[in-house]
Amino acid sequence: MKFAVKAWSNGSARAGVVQLGNFPHPIETPCLLLSTRKGLPFFISPDLLPSLPSPDSHLLQVCPLHFLEGLSPKTISNSGGLHQMLGLHDYGFAAVTRDSIQCLPEYNSTNKVGASFETPCGRLLIKPVEYMELISSMRPNIWATLADEVPTWVSDKRNRTSVDRTVRWLDDCIALSPAGGAVFGAIVGGSNVEERRRCAQEVAKRNVSGYWIGGFGLGESRDERPALLNTITDILPEEKPRLICGLGLPEEVLQGVASGIDLFDSVYIYHLTLGGFALTFPLNGVDENESDFQLSDNGSDRTKINLRATVYRKDASPIVEGCCCYTCQNHTKAYINHLLNVHEMLAQTLIEIHNTHHYLGFFRAIREAIKTGNFEQFHRQFIEGRRNCVAVAAMHA
Amino acid sequence: MALRFEILGRFNRARAAQLTLPHFVCQTPLFMPVGTQGTIKGLATNQLEEIGCQIILGNTYHLALRPTSELIDELGGLHQFMNWPRALLTDSGGFQMVSLLHLADITEKGVTFQSPVDGKPMLLTPEESIQIQNRIGADIIMALDDVVKTTITGPRIEEAMYHTLRWIDRCIAAHERPHEQNLFGIVQGGLDPVLRDICVRGLVDRNLPGYAIGGLAGGESKDSFWRVVAQCTAALPEDKPRYVMGVGYPLDIVVCSALGADMYDCVYPTRTARFGTALVPEGVLKLKHNAMADDTRPIDPTCACMVCRTYSRAYIHCLVTKDAMGSQLLSYHNLYYMMKLSRDLHTSIIEGRFPEFVCNFLRIMFPKGDVPEWVCNAMEVAGIDISSCCSPFSSSQD
C-alpha cells in the first residue's frame, strides 16, 4: 500500500491518495471504509457491490474476530487469503480488531496476556500471537495491531495500562508480522491528553506504514474530541495515513477530517439501516428547502427519513430524487415501507445500498472542499445547517 | 384468455412448450419461486432475472393483509410495486387461510375465518378472492378452491370437490380482467380417481386458459401422489398448461414432467436455504455440518452460479444461520439450481434426449442404483426406460 498527501485546506485537513497493490485505481482520501461481516457487507450482495461508486467503495473493513465463529486460520490460508476466499480481488481489506457491533472490547477482562472481547461465541481472550495467526492467514492490505481499547470513564491507572499494553503488543505484532500487508500502529489513551500524546509518541517511533486510532466513540464528548485528535495528529508524521475507528456521524467525521484523519471506519450506516432510516441530507451542504421544513414526529429530520413511517405507504417516489444508486433507480419508498412492515430482508439490502451510496457522496463532497481550499467553510456551513434543523425541531416541540 | 401455449417438443407424455403471458414469454417445464410478500426472501429483482426466473408467485392472503390489494392497485399493480418486469402468478388465498388460521371453516359461501388482525369473523368468497387478485394484477390468477389434505378420508373430500366446481363458475363470473389475467382452475378430489375425474371434466367444460392439480404435496405417500398426477395429466387438455401446485423437490419435478406437467411452485428451495441446506445434483448438502468447516470446494462444482463460482463450502458454512448474507447466497444458489433444472428439462425434451437426461439425473442422485420404487413405477407409465440407473436387485417385487 502506498499513500501520499496531495492537498491541504485551512490547517490540518488533507486530501490524499491510497494506492493498493491489487487495484489499479488510486483511492482518494478522506475515505470511508465499508463495514463488513466476515468480509462481505451485512446485506449488500456481492453482485450488487459493483453498483456502488468506484473506486470510493473499494476499501472494506474486516474484523478478524468474526472468523473465530467458524473458519480456522488454516482454512482461510488454504483458501488463499481473504481476497481469494471472497472473490474480491480488486478490493482492499483493512483488518481491525473493533467492529462495534458484535465483537466488543471487554476491557475488564483484558489482561497483560491478551485483549478480551465479547463475541457471539462468548468471551474470548486474544493474544498477539493468535491475532497475528489470523492476520497472516487473511493477508489483508492493511491491518491494525492489537490494542487494549478502554472507554473514557476508566481510572487513570487503567488508562495508562492500556497505553503500555497497546505499545507492547504493537512490538509483538510487528515481530510476528507477515510479509506483505501494511501495518498500522494502534494508538489509544482515552480522553487523557497526556496519555494520548505519550502513546502517539511511542507509536511514531516504530516502523509502521500508518496509524490506527482507537478509543474514540467510547465516551468522549464532542467538545473534548478536537483537542484529543489534534494532540495525536500533531505528533504523527504527515506522510503516513491515519485510520480512525468510532467516528460515524457526519459531524464526527468532519471533526476527524479537520484534525487530519484520512480513513474512517464507522458503523453509522449499519445502525441507520437496521433502524429503517435512509440518508437524505443534501450533499453540497446547502439545503434549498430549508424554509419549508416541516417537523414530523416519525423520527425524520432533514438528514434522514424513517422508511417505516406510515406517511410513506403510498409514496411512489425514490428515497432521494436523482440519486443514482440501485435502490433509487429501481424502487420506491412505498415498496421499502412494505418490506419493512413485513420484515423482509430485502429492505435492509436496499437501504444499505442507498445509505452507502449517499455517505460515499458525502465523503466526495468533503474531498472537493479540501481540494478547493474551502474545507473550513464547508465544515461550518454543514454544522450550521444541522443546528438549524435542531432549532426548528425544538421550536415545534 | 391472455396466454398462448405452444408445444415445441415432446417425449411420450412429456412436453416442452413456450408459454406466452402478458408480461413474459416463458419456456416450460418451469419452476416458480414463491415470493410470498412481494419479494423472494433476500434477493433483488436483478438477481432473480440473472438466475433465470420467469414467473414468480405472490401470496394473495399475505398481500391482502399487507399492504392490501387496494394499495397495490393504486400504485399500479404488483408488477410495478415490486418492479418485476416478468410474469407473476397469485394463488387464491384459500390455502393459507386454511393452513394458517385457527378456526377456519368452509361453507358453500366460501371460507370463513377469524381475521388475524382483530379476530372478527370474515368471509373469503370466490368473488372476493378474484377481485383481490384482479387488483394485484398477476398474469395468472387461481380460482378459489376447497382444499382438503390428502390424508383425510370420507365425505369431506367429495364435498370439497363439488364446492370447487361450483365456485369456479362464481370465479369466472367475478373475473373482470380476462384479457389481461388468466384464470386457472384447480383439480381437487383427494386421492379418489373417480372424484378427480369428475372434477377434471367439470373444469375442462369451462374452457379455462390453464389447469392446476391441487390438493397434493400434503402428507400423501409418493405412490399415491404420482398416480393422481398421472391420471390428471392424462385427462387434461393437451394444448393448455398444467400446473402441479406445491411441488417441490427436484426429483418430484422430473417425474411430474415425465408424466406431462408443465409448471411447479414450492417454498422448499428458499426455505431450505435459510436452514443452511443447498440443492446439489446428488441431493442436498447441509452446510451447517462441521465437516464443511474446512471444505474448500464449491457447493456444487458443476454449478455455474455466482455463489459456486466464488465461494467455498467452508466460507458459506461460517455464514449460514448466523448472517443474513448466508441466507441470501444459499437462496441464490438453490434458485439457480431450480431454474437450471427447468431449462434442462425444456431443452432435453426439445433436443430429443429427455430419457438420457432423466437417466443421468437419477444416476447422480442414486449412485448405488437404489431408485425409489414409486419413481420406477411412474417412469414406466411415462414410457421412460430407466433400467440403466436401477441396480438389478432393487426393482419392485410385486
- At B142 the pLDDT is 97
Q: Is B251 on the interface with A (CB under 8 A)?
A: no
Q: Is B317 on the interface with A (CB under 8 A)?
A: yes
Which of B322, B324, B332 faces A69 most closely, judged by CB atoms? Answer: B322
Query: Chain B residue with minimal CA distance to A44?
Result: B325
Q: Which residues contact B335 (CB under 8 A, 6 or more apart)?
A: B33, B40, B43, B48, B51, B53, B269, B270
* Contact list, B37 vs chain A (CB under 8 Å): 338-339, 342, 344
Q: How far is B324 from chain A (nearest CA, A)?
A: 7
Identify which of A167, A165, A166, A216 has the alpha carbon closest to the alpha carbon of residue A192.
A216
Q: Is B370 on the interface with A (CB under 8 A)?
A: no
pLDDT in tens, B286-330: 999 999 999 999 999 999 999 999 999 999 999 998 898 999 999
Q: Which of B328, B332, B335, B336 to mutate to test the interface with A (most CBs of A within 10 A)?
A: B328
Q: Is A317 on the interface with B (CB under 8 A)?
A: no
Percent of chain B exceeding pLDDT 90 equals: 81
Give B211's DSSP letter: E
- At A68 the pLDDT is 86
Q: How far is A265 from chain B (nearest CA, A)?
A: 20
User: Residue B32 in contact with residue B264, Cβ under 8 Å?
Assistant: yes
Q: How confident is the model at residue B257 (pLDDT cuts 50, 70, 90)?
A: very high
At A43, list the grid cell. 446485506
* Contact list, B329 vs chain A (CB under 8 Å): 45
- At A292 the pLDDT is 45
Provide DSSP, B20-65. E-SS-EEEESEEEEB-TTSS-TT--HHHHHHHT--EEEE-HHHHHH
- At B38 the pLDDT is 83
From the list B91, B145, B252, B300, the catalytic residue is B91
* Contact list, A46 vs chain B (CB under 8 Å): 306, 310
Which of B312, B317, B329 faces A70 most closely, judged by CB atoms? Answer: B317
| Mean pLDDT, residues B372-394 taken together | 90
Q: Is A68 on the interface with B (CB under 8 A)?
A: no
| Mean pLDDT, residues A107-120 taken together | 91
* Contact list, B42 vs chain A (CB under 8 Å): 344-346, 349
| Mean pLDDT, residues A119-144 taken together | 93
- At A145 the pLDDT is 96
CB–CB contact A37 B323 (8 Å): yes
From the list B262, B265, B344, B398, the catalytic residue is B265
pLDDT in tens, B1-15: 899 999 999 999 999
How many residue contacts between A and B have a Cβ separation below 8 Å? 124
Burial of B40 from C-beta contacts in 10 A (0-12 / 13-18 / 19+): buried
Grouping H, G, I as helix, E, B as strand and the rest as coil, residue A269 is: helix
pLDDT in tens, A231-240: 999 999 999 9
In whole angstroms, what is the distance from residue B47 CA to residue B44 CA? 5
At B57, list the grid cell. 408467485
Least trusted range by pLDDT, from A76-90, A123-137, A376-390, B219-233: A376-390
Predicted structure pTM score:
0.94
Q: Is A191 on the interface with B (CB under 8 A)?
A: no
Question: Is residue A260 scored above 70 in pLDDT?
Answer: yes
CB–CB contact B71 A41 (8 Å): no
**Backbone phi, psi, residue B113, to 5°:** -155, 170
- At A147 the pLDDT is 95
Q: How far is A50 from chain B (nearest CA, A)?
A: 13
Question: Is residue B393 scored above 70 in pLDDT?
Answer: no
- At A143 the pLDDT is 96
| Mean pLDDT, residues A215-222 taken together | 90
Q: Is B397 on the interface with A (CB under 8 A)?
A: no
**Number of helices and strands (H, E) in chain B?**
16, 16
Mean pLDDT of chain A: 91
CB–CB contact B324 A330 (8 Å): no
Q: How confident is the model at residue B33 (pLDDT cuts 50, 70, 90)?
A: very high
Q: Which of B34, B73, B315, B330 to mutate to test the interface with A (most CBs of A within 10 A)?
A: B315
pLDDT in tens, B80-138: 999 999 999 999 987 776 676 666 788 899 988 777 777 788 888 999 999 999 999 99
CB–CB contact B47 A330 (8 Å): no
- At A393 the pLDDT is 67
pLDDT in tens, A276-324: 999 999 886 555 554 444 545 555 567 899 999 999 999 999 999 999 9
| Mean pLDDT, residues A63-80 taken together | 91
CB–CB contact A313 B71 (8 Å): yes
Grouping H, G, I as helix, E, B as strand and the rest as coil, residue B183 is: strand
- At A293 the pLDDT is 47
CB–CB contact B75 A46 (8 Å): no
* Contact list, A349 vs chain B (CB under 8 Å): 42, 44, 328
B197 is catalytic: no
- At A291 the pLDDT is 45
In whole angstroms, what is the distance from residue B171 CA to residue B110 CA? 11
- At B133 the pLDDT is 97
CB–CB contact B325 A40 (8 Å): yes
Which of B37, B74, B83 faces A314 most closely, judged by CB atoms? Answer: B74
* Contact list, A38 vs chain B (CB under 8 Å): 315, 318-319, 323, 325
User: Residue A261 in contact with residue A242, Cβ under 8 Å?
Assistant: yes
Q: Which long-range contacts (CB under 8 A, 24 or more apart) does B380-387 make?
A: B381/B230, B381/B259, B382/B12, B382/B13, B382/B14, B382/B230, B382/B255, B382/B258, B382/B259, B382/B260, B383/B12, B383/B13, B384/B11, B384/B12, B384/B258, B384/B354, B384/B355, B384/B358, B385/B355, B386/B355, B386/B358, B386/B359, B386/B362
B294 is catalytic: no
Q: Is A334 on the interface with B (CB under 8 A)?
A: yes
Mean pLDDT of chain B: 93
Question: Is residue A397 scored above 90 in pLDDT?
Answer: no
In whole angstroms, what is the distance from residue B214 CA to residue B146 CA? 10
CB–CB contact A75 B314 (8 Å): yes
- At B398 the pLDDT is 42
- At B397 the pLDDT is 47
